[in-house]
Amino acid sequence: MTDSIARPGKIIAIHLSYASRADQRGRRPAHPSYFFKVASSVAASGSTVERPAGTELLAFEGEIALVIGTPARHVGIADAWSHVASVTAANDLGLYDLRANDKGSNVRSKGGDGYTPLGPDLIDANTVDPNDIRVRTWVNGELRQDDNSSGLIFPLPQFVADLSQHFTLETGDVILTGTPAGSSVIVPGDVVEVEVDAPNAPGAPTSGRLVTTVTQGEVPFDETLGSLPAVDDTQRTEAWGSAEAAGLTPTTSTALSPELRAKLEKAPTAGLSSQLRKRGLHSCFIDGVAANLPGTKIVGTARTLRFIPAREDLFKSHGGGYNAQKRLFDAVDEGEIIVIEARGDATTGTLGDILALRAKTRGAAGVVTDGGVRDFDEVARIGLPVFSQGAHPSVLGRKHVPWELDVTIGCGGAAVQPGDVIVGDSDGVIVIPPSIAAEIADAALAQEDEDSWIAAQVESGHPVDGLFPMNAGWRAKYEASRAQEEGDRP
């Protein structure tokens, strides 16, 4: 490795650049964004990197590194690649335990000693097409990343041109061009190898394997000097690449038991809401929605989706690709109900026939949205029960940005949390806290029996005064009738 690579003047890294990674994260940037890494983080192939004591989320990121040859200042995209001398492999290691307090600067989370291995060999930039450079990463011999610069959201020359608008890129400066999907957590003892090559270029030039071994650090951080490492499930999910990989998939099912589901399907929402009100829960109604299939009854647990008001830059970053809406419809399970917060705006569709078909195929029990539905007749033909404000032909993006899933939302004036019990029928849709769902169902069914008996008395000619609600005398008659029925049963 040359001296200029061993200690470059500047190391500039890209936050998010590959379409595969953006789709994994559920957000696609409209423009590239950057952070600096310190020169002392550079390491050679064959080096080790410590996972600091008291931390858990050291992650690898295989990347294509560009080494600047001739200085660049205010260059255009057409001329930018001529300022790149070499291409090589990089591992943009990061410690997610320290990421939250860095707030995007990545000073500590990306600046540790050995956190920027480079090499081992340099590829002459003049011999390769910047739109056809491959990057691959192996962990303990298993291929984890395999992508190509053609999969970048922004072409490699754009990084050079864009950065040159702001400061001079000097000879030996290094640009780390972002990592594709597949980055994940590594632990002491793991061996990470990154290779950059151009298999379609003459001679198939390669950087060779950049090898780094993870070791365990022994020196803890001093709490008197600064903030300590801290992790939560969000950081674990992003470090590992998914909640499943991080081991965050629930170990117990939130699905309703068959017995409870049967009771809720039998109990009308009017009776259920009455029981909720008796227990002090008065805001359990999702107002303003009606069923697309008359006579539909839905029962299930909530999966939630939150839309925010449309804004062009936010729709560019969150609306395209594998956005939160698509991820939820791909993940909904049998018996679950997708509940969408659309801020009560009926002037745009919040789902259409393709997503309805996906939810139906996944076994979803239905969808509740306080917005509109496009392809209304086709959604009904598919047979997916949907409670909404009605039909509207517009596509996503007119009023909404799909922002996040499986969070607490507000739908039709009701607070809804993931796992809440949702019941809907011709009277409307209600939300039941799961901890009392069984109690509410039993009480509602008991009330239904009582109301049926009262209706029979009214039908036979009795006035409602003293009967509805029952006074002590009628109550005694009712209890006696029920006792007789029990005694008559075999």
Return d(Cα 323, Cα 321) in angstroms, integer: 6
- Which pair of tokens denotes residue 486? 């029990």
Exposure string (b/e) for 234-249, b if CB count within 10 Å is 16 or more?
A: ebbbbbbbebeebeee
**What is the end-to-end Cα distance of the chain in Å, rounded?**
90
19 SS3 class: helix
Cβ count within 10 A of residue 232: 9
Q: If one looks up domain 258-438 in CATH, what number appears? A: 3.50.30.40
Query: What is the pLDDT, as a whole number, of residue 252?
Result: 42
Query: What is the pLDDT, as a whole number, of residue 7?
Result: 84
Note the CATH architecture for domain 3-240. Alpha-Beta Complex (3.90)
Query: What is the pLDDT, as a whole number, of residue 3?
Result: 41
Query: What is the pLDDT, as a whole number, of residue 251?
Result: 41
DSSP alpha helices (H): ranges in 218-306?
233-240, 258-266, 269-278
Query: pLDDT 10s per residue in the chain (490 long)?
Result: 444 466 899 999 999 999 999 887 777 888 999 999 999 999 999 999 999 998 999 999 999 999 999 999 999 999 999 999 999 999 999 999 998 777 778 999 999 999 999 999 999 999 999 999 999 999 999 999 999 999 999 999 999 999 999 999 999 999 999 999 999 999 999 999 999 999 999 999 999 999 999 999 999 888 888 888 888 777 888 889 887 788 775 444 457 889 999 999 999 999 999 999 989 998 899 999 999 999 999 999 999 999 999 998 888 888 877 888 998 998 899 999 999 999 999 998 899 999 999 999 999 999 999 999 999 999 999 999 999 999 999 888 788 999 999 989 999 999 999 999 999 999 999 999 999 999 999 999 988 888 888 888 889 888 888 878 888 888 888 888 877 776 665 5
Return d(Cα 383, Cα 357) in angstroms, integer: 9
Side chain identity at residue 139, one-letter code: V
285 SS3 class: strand
Q: Cα-flanking dihedrals φ and ψ of residue 400, to 5°?
A: -130, 155
| Closest CA relative to residue 16, chosen from 8, 7, 26 | 26
Return d(Cα 45, Cα 212) in angstroms, integer: 6
Cβ count within 10 A of residue 285: 18
Residue ranges per structural domain of the chain:
3-240, 258-438
Return d(Cα 160, Cα 65) in angstroms, integer: 12
Indicate the pTM of the whole model. Answer: 0.57
Length of the chain: 490
CB-CB contact of 184 with 244 (8 Å): no
Query: What is the pLDDT, as a whole number, of residue 490?
Result: 58
